[in-house]
Structure 1
Amino acid sequence: MKILLIHGPNLNMLGKRDPAIYGDQTLAEIESLVKTKARELGAEVLTFQSNSEGTLIDFIQAESPEAEGIIINPGALTHYGLSLSDALADSALPVIEVHLSNIYAREEWRHKSVIASIALAQISGRGWQGYIDAVEILVADLKEKK
């Protein structure tokens, strides 16, 4: 079972970028935690990060035929990444949207997600633990459908 773990703009700066909001874990540390949990559940994870919407779309289009699900933290593309949302929908894979911070407890413009309507679930405000939750939910959903 192959899962794509995708990170959008600025997530490469985790650990340095506003730790009070995003935590002090680096992206590499979060990816390691996710891969460990996925292995425990019988899944493998392919990770990818880009600050460019087009590059994220290219990755989804190239890798989704071999994958069974997607976990994505779209970063700011959450709020306006319509092309990204379309690419996720076109993959026909179950998608879980993850946010380290609670986007609904922040600035008003962060409250809208163009990804949520195509997502199996949205996890917001649980820090790095939200990624672990996402793996558990996605793997359970995939096993249930087999």
Structure 2
Amino acid sequence: MSKPIYVLSGPNLNLLGVREPEIYGKQTLDDVRAACEARAAALGRTLVFRQSNHEGELIDWVQEAREAASALVINPAGYGHTSVALLDALKMLAIPIVECHLSNPAAREEFRRHTYVSLAATGLVSGFGARSYELAVEAAAGLTA
């Protein structure tokens, strides 16, 4: 059996569905998890799905993914714009990395238009709301087929 796809979400995504629903949508992170698990199952894959508001915990999980995951989907949230440490951890991975965003950062404030994660990512899915996660899982599965 193949290794799972890790799906990691950064700060404030635990409040998905409540926080700025006009930007991020009304689906909760539990809704996103269920949709991703269903999509992964349809592709014959499994997921490890986690969220943290703490940069160090995300980095620990990225390091764990080096050995335990077949691919990584990451929505770094605000850390994408600020965390060189997260970038450094991602650069140590030899597996595909799919960066994921609910909104389209290129259409938002200037400071959101650049992410450090993009420097390590294999590809990027953004702007499709909660569906961005499902599309990212599909891309990750395709990169490891």
TM-score (normalizing by structure 1): 0.94
2:65 touches 2:72 (CA, 8 Å); kept in 1? no
Match of 1:67 in 2: 69
What percent of counterpart residues are identical? 40
1:34-89 per-residue CA deviation (whole Å, 9 max, x = no partner) reads 01100110110001111111111112223431111000000001111111111112
The aligned residue for residue 110 of structure 1 is: 112
- Structure 1 runs (4+) deviating above 4 angstroms are none
**Among residues 83, 86, 89, which one is paired with 1:87 in the alignment?**
89
CA-based RMSD = 1.0
- Alignment partner of 1:132 out of 122, 125, 134: 134
Rounded to whole Å, the distance in 1 between the matches of 2:126 and 2:139 is 14
Counterpart residue identity of residue 82, structure 1:
V
Q: Which residue of 2 aligns with 1:16?
A: 18
Partner of 1:119: 121
- Provide structure 1 residue ranges, at least 5 long, that are not aligned to the other structure: none
Whether 1:53 aligns to 2:42 is: no
Secondary structure of the corresponding residue to residue 91 of structure 1? coil
Amino acid in the other structure paired with 1:110:
R
Distance in 2 (alpha carbons) for counterparts of 1:64 and 1:51: 21
In the alignment, structure 1 residue 39 sits paired with structure 2 residue 49 = no
Give, in angstroms, the shift of residue 135 of structure 1.
1.3
2:15 aligned with 1:28: no
TM-score by length of 2: 0.95
Aligned to 1:90, what secondary structure does the other structure show?
A: coil
- Provide the aligned length of Structure 1 versus Structure 2: 143
